[in-house]
C-alpha cells in the first residue's frame, strides 16, 4: 500500500501547479466534504446536500437542530484556516491546536472553545470504561505533544500519529475528534497530500481502531485504516485534478 501511495503522490506532483481557478474549486469541494464527514461522525444530522446549502447559501434546513447548522459553519471556517496554516512556514505550536479547537466549535459551543477540559472525561468501550488523562495532567501532556509536533517531519505517518496522540490526551471537553482530524489534515496538506475524510461508514472501524490503540493493543489497525483512506483519496483527487487541468 505504501508503494502505491508513493506512486500516486508522484503522479499528483507531476500535475502541479494546477490552474488557480481549478485548484480553488477542488479545495472548496473537499472543504465542504470534510465538513460533512467530520461532523457526521460526531452525530451531526445534516446530509451532504444540506451541509452544502448551509455553507454556500446560508439556508436553514427545516427540522434540523440549530447546533448542526452552527457546526457546519464552524468546521468550514476551520478547514479553510487549516489550509492557510499549511501554506505558511510557521511551526505547529500548542496555541495552534487550541486555535483549531476554538474555530471548530466557536459558534456551537463558545463557552468551551479553545479551553482545556476542567472535568474528567471517559468513554465506554467493549472492554469497559476508558478514562482519559485528568485535567491536571493536560497542560504537561500537551506541552510534550507540542514539542514532539514541532520537531516532527510533515509525513503521513506524523499526521496519523498526531491524530491518535491528540485523541489519547483528549484535552478538550468536546470537539477532540474534529480537532484531531483537522490537525491530521493540516500536516498532510503541508506534506503535499490531499486532506483525508473519515467517512460516516468508517465510523465503527475508526472508533474501534482508536479504542484498540488506547487500550494498549497497538496503533496498527488505526494506521491501516488511515492509509487506506489516504490511498482512496489520492486516487479520487488525482482524477479530479487531472480533469481540472485539461
Residues with a known catalytic role: 170
Tell me the CA distances in angstroms from 27 to 76, 80, 83, 188, 203, one per residue in order.
11, 9, 9, 14, 24
| Cell numbers linked to 147 | 514539542
Q: What span, in angstroms and rounded, lies between the C-alpha atoms of 24 and 184?
A: 21
In SS3 terms, the chain reads as CHHHHHHHHHHHHHHCCCCHHHHHHHHHHHHHHHHHHHHHHCCCCCCHHHHHHHHHHCCCCCCCCHHHHHHHHHHHHHHHHHHHHHHCCCCCCHHHHHHHHHHHHCCCCCCCCCCECCCCCEEEECCEEEECCCCCCHHHHHHHHHHHHHHCCCCHHHHHHHHHHHHHHCCECCCHHHHHHHHHHHHHHHCCCCCCCCCHHHHHHHHHHHHHHHCCCCCHHHHHHHHHHHHHHHHHHHHHHHHHHC
Q: Are 245 and 19 in contact (CB under 8 A)?
A: yes
Amino acid at each position: 500500500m505504501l508503494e502505491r501511495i508513493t506512486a500516486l503522490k508522484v503522479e499528483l506532483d507531476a500535475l502541479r501547479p494546477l490552474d488557480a481557478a481549478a485548484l480553488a474549486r477542488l479545495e472548496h469541494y473537499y472543504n465542504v466534504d470534510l465538513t460533512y464527514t467530520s461532523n457526521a461522525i460526531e452525530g451531526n444530522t445534516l446530509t451532504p446536500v444540506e451541509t452544502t446549502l448551509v455553507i454556500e447559501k446560508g439556508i436553514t434546513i427545516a427540522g434540523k437542530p440549530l447546533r448542526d447548522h452552527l457546526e457546519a459553519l464552524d468546521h468550514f471556517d476551520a478547514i479553510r484556516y487549516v489550509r492557510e496554516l499549511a501554506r505558511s512556514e510557521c511551526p505547529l505550536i500548542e496555541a495552534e491546536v487550541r486555535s483549531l479547537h476554538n474555530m471548530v466549535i466557536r459558534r456551537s459551543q463558545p463557552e468551551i472553545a479553545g479551553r482545556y477540559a476542567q472535568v474528567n472525561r471517559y468513554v465506554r468501550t467493549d472492554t469497559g470504561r476508558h478514562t482519559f488523562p485528568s485535567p491536571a495532567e493536560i497542560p504537561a501532556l500537551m506541552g510534550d505533544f507540542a514539542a514532539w509536533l514541532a520537531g516532527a517531519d510533515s509525513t503521513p505517518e506524523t499526521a496519523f500519529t498526531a491524530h491518535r496522540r491528540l485523541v489519547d490526551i483528549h484535552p478538550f471537553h468536546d470537539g477532540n475528534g474534529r480537532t484531531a482530524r483537522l490537525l491530521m489534515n493540516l500536516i498532510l496538506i503541508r506534506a503535499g497530500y490531499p486532506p483525508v475524510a473519515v467517512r460516516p461508514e468508517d465510523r465503527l472501524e475508526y472508533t474501534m481502531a482508536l479504542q484498540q490503540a488506547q487500550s494498549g493493543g497497538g496503533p496498527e489497525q488505526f494506521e491501516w485504516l488511515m492509509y487506506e483512506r489516504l490511498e482512496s483519496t489520492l486516487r479520487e483527487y488525482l482524477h479530479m485534478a487531472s480533469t481540472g487541468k485539461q
